[in-house]
Amino acid sequence: MSRSRLIGFFALQKNNTEVVIHVLIVMKALLLLGCPEVPVQTGLALYIGNTLKTQGFEVICAGTPSAVNLMRVADPKKAYIESYMNIDKCIDQIAEGIFDVDLTFGFIHKDSGLQYLATIAALSRSTPIAVVFGREAEPLSKEVGESLDGVYVIWAKAIHNPLPLKKKLDKIGEWAALERDQG
């Protein structure tokens, strides 16, 4: 099952009667990964990728070269994530309007992670979701909430143990409910 947005619009036929045309667009989720200094990052990204894929999203992972390399090594059969992009190329393409997504997950354990999500949030129509972890998770999560409009923040002081964050993620259920732009 693919998670899709249904867009209905009217069209005028030759005989001047109207018909409703429905277009289905598969919803896309973007995982935004900065440098993988904190051990839980790769595991959480694979976990969220799997949940989104199960819910019918097309999942794209954009990251720094080492973040992407680590994801590819950890998921050699592409069981969880199928598409990868360089993070700078991803930002360029969203800025140029040739690529966009419905949900953007920023993985944040330091300021650069917040900057990446803030950049995408300013350019994209997607809902920003901040997954904040690491030693500075608490102050960082507040900074994220204060600096990004409409952001959904999930945080835990997870460094090696992903379970506190996994529990919070599991409570969300249907990610599509967080989408801000229903077409």
Nearest-approach distance from CB 40 to its own copies, in angstroms: 7
CB of 134 to its own copies, least distance (A): 12
Number of Cβ atoms within 10 Å of the Cβ of 72: 13
Query: What's the min distance (Å) between Cβ of 54 and its own copies?
Result: 9
Cβ 80 to its own copies shortest distance, Å: 8
User: What is the contact surface with its own copies in residues (CB under 8 A)?
Assistant: 35-44, 46-47, 50-51, 65-67, 69-71, 73-77, 79-80, 160-163, 166
The dihedral built from the CA positions of residue 141, 145, 155 and 57, taken in this order, carries a sign that is negative
- Our CB check for its own copies shows the closer of 5 and 110 to be 110
For its own copies, give the closer residue by CB, 121 or 169: 169
Minimum CB–partner distance for residue 162 and its own copies (Å): 4
Question: 3-state class of 106 per DSSP?
Answer: strand
Q: Which is nearer to its own copies, 22 or 77 (CB)?
A: 77
C-beta closer to its own copies: residue 75 or 124 = 75
Cα gap 105→32, rounded to integer Å: 6
Long-range contacts at 79-88 (CB < 8 A, ≥ 24 apart)? 79/50, 80/46, 80/49, 80/50, 80/53, 81/31, 81/45, 81/46, 81/49, 83/58, 83/59, 84/60, 85/60, 85/61, 86/62, 87/32, 87/33, 87/34, 87/62, 87/63, 87/116
Q: Between residues 47 and 123, which has the closer beta carbon with respect to its own copies?
A: 47
> How many residues are there in the chain?
183
